[in-house]
C-alpha cells in the first residue's frame, strides 16, 4: 500500500512542477501517462518475482522516463545487484 501512495505522490509532484514551469497540458499528460505505464510495469514485474524496490528514486526515474526508466532500473538491478 505504501508503494502506491509513494507513486501517486511522485506523479502529483511531477505534474505540479511542470504546471509551475508553465508547460502545456499535453506535456503534463504525456508525463503522467509515462508514469502510470512505468509504475504498472514495475508492479507487474514484482508480481513475477523480480523484486524491484519501489523507492523515491525509482518512482522519480520511472515517472519522468516511463518505460525507458523501467529498463534503466532493471539494468541497474541486475548489473549492480541492488
Rounded to 5°, the CA angle 5-79-8 comes to: 10
Helices vs strands, H then E, count in the chain: 4, 0
> How many Å apart are CA 74 and CA 62, to the nearest integer?
11
**The predicted structure's pLDDT at residue 1:** 62
The count of domains in the chain is: 1
In tens, the pLDDT along 70-82 reads 888 889 888 887 6
Range of the domain at 64: 2-80
Q: For the chain, how many residues are written?
A: 82
State the cell numbers at 28: 503534463
pLDDT score recorded for residue 80? 85
**Could you report the per-residue pLDDT of 34-79, keeping only the tens digit for each?**
777 877 888 888 888 888 877 777 877 877 787 888 888 889 888 8
Amino acid at each position: 500500500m505504501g508503494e502506491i501512495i509513494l507513486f501517486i505522490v511522485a506523479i502529483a509532484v511531477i505534474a505540479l512542477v511542470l504546471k509551475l514551469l508553465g508547460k502545456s497540458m499535453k506535456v503534463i499528460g504525456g508525463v503522467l501517462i509515462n508514469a502510470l505505464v512505468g509504475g504498472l510495469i514495475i508492479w507487474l514485474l514484482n508480481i513475477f518475482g523480480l523484486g524491484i524496490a519501489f523507492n523515491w528514486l525509482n518512482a522519480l526515474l520511472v515517472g519522468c522516463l516511463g518505460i525507458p526508466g523501467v529498463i534503466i532500473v532493471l539494468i541497474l538491478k541486475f548489473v549492480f545487484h541492488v
